[in-house]
């Protein structure tokens, strides 16, 4: 099982809208996550900072399924005015480096 984490920021004045949209997540979006093999997907909010985490069999496969999905593209477009993802300027990836793990 592989693990993936990302970080982002909810834009000022958009926290309640961010929460509402995730409380009403599109069924087709969860279908894509299931096809990507994503499990235990959790997002935490601390102030305006977001931290997301999920588990999957293959991060590369999960990323590819999501990148190729028109549903994910539509979701990302709908979230542009709500949040900002933090990406690595060198790789374009939003993943975080794991520095500690305890099972």
Which of 22, 39, 48, 102 does the annotation list as catalytic?
22
Cα 72 to Cα 54, 57, 64, 79, 102: the distances in Å are 16, 19, 11, 10, 32
Whether 22 sits among the annotated catalytic residues: the reply is: yes
How far apart (Å, rounded) are the C-alpha atoms in residues 45 and 20? 13
Query: Catalytic residue numbers?
Result: 22
């Amino acid at each position: 099982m592989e693990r993936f984490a990302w970080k982002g920021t909810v834009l000022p004045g958009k926290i309640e809208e961010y929460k509402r949209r995730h409380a009403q997540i599109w069924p087709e979006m969860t279908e894509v996550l299931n096809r990507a093999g994503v499990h235990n997907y959790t997002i935490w909010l601390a102030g305006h900072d977001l931290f997301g985490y999920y588990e999957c069999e293959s991060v590369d496969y999960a990323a590819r399924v999501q990148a190729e999905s028109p549903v994910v593209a539509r979701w990302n477009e709908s979230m542009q005015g709500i949040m900002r993802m933090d990406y690595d300027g060198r790789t374009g990836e939003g993943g975080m480096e794991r520095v500690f793990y305890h099972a």
